[in-house]
Chain A
């Protein structure tokens, strides 16, 4: 995965909105298929699951759902690909992933079983310190 992303070239701009849309789906699939690698190299098995990470990726894509300009979509896709390749090449550390992608999306989900008995102060302390 890392080696294949290394040779990514910037493709020409999307001609129309349908092509840009297709590229977004392709990017989403590439990102989903690299989830096992990401969980492996950052040791995410005890804090997250593949389906949670998939939902996180789709939520990040959905943040920009209102964009209709194809050039802007291409730019966002490029930034997404860059971010993904940085993550897959292990250019980040575990707390970057935790703080950026896992903790912000955890608010709505239940807290892990080992923190059930802890006070609110301790829970906030754990959250604030990225484990």
Chain B
């Protein structure tokens, strides 16, 4: 009985064919389900929080002094080797490998946040 009713109802129902998936159009490029990166990009606030967390965990840094505008050597009293150490800690945290030329330029919190936020592979 139920199956007869069900088939009767199903025969009447018509669903319009969805026209939204265009094979060669731009909508197919929006979702790349097996892609390892791209749509899981970090948002700015998360990058800021994690960078500050890494810097606060650094043994020589006073956590109360850390804020998003801090300069490693001028404000936190670190030396050049400490700066490299922080950059390496950031590399580990965000699973990056920062080339030497860029790594030399990163000497303050805003620069680190900007570089990591703009890096496509940071996670």
Task: Give the interface residue-count category, chain A.
Answer: 10 to 19
Residues of chain A with a CB closer than 8 A to B85's CB? 28, 32, 54-55, 58
Residues of chain A with a CB closer than 8 A to B57's CB? 51
In the assembled complex, the Cα of A54 lies from the Cα of B92 at a distance in Å of: 11
Q: Are B88 and A54 in contact (CB under 8 A)?
A: yes
In the assembled complex, the Cα of A62 lies from the Cα of B82 at a distance in Å of: 10
In the assembled complex, the Cα of A66 lies from the Cα of B38 at a distance in Å of: 47
In the assembled complex, the Cα of A50 lies from the Cα of B89 at a distance in Å of: 9
In the assembled complex, the Cα of A55 lies from the Cα of B85 at a distance in Å of: 8
Interface residues as binary, B47-72 with A (CB distance below 8 Å gives 1, 0 otherwise): 00000000001110000000000000
Number of A-B contacts (CB under 8 A): 33
Chain B residues with a Cβ closer than 8 Å to the other chain, count: 15
Q: Are A62 and B81 in contact (CB under 8 A)?
A: yes
A13-64 at interface with B (beta carbon < 8 Å): 24-26, 28-29, 32-33, 50-51, 54-55, 58, 61-62
Say yes or no for B97: interface residue by CB 8 A criterion. yes
Say yes or no for B28: interface residue by CB 8 A criterion. no
Residues of chain A with a CB closer than 8 A to B58's CB? 51
Say yes or no for B39: interface residue by CB 8 A criterion. no
Chain B residues proximal to chain A, CB less than 8 Å: 57-59, 80-82, 84-85, 88-89, 91-92, 97, 100, 103
Q: With contacts A54-B89, A58-B81 known, what are 20 further pairs, Cβ within 8 A? A: A24-B81, A25-B84, A28-B81, A28-B85, A29-B84, A29-B103, A32-B88, A32-B91, A33-B88, A33-B91, A50-B92, A51-B57, A51-B58, A54-B88, A55-B59, A55-B85, A58-B82, A58-B85, A61-B81, A62-B81
- Name 27 interchain pairs, CB-CB below 8 A, sorted by A: A24-B81, A25-B80, A25-B84, A26-B100, A28-B81, A28-B85, A28-B88, A29-B84, A29-B88, A29-B103, A32-B85, A32-B88, A32-B91, A33-B88, A33-B91, A33-B97, A50-B92, A51-B57, A51-B58, A51-B89, A54-B85, A54-B88, A54-B89, A55-B59, A58-B81, A58-B82, A58-B85
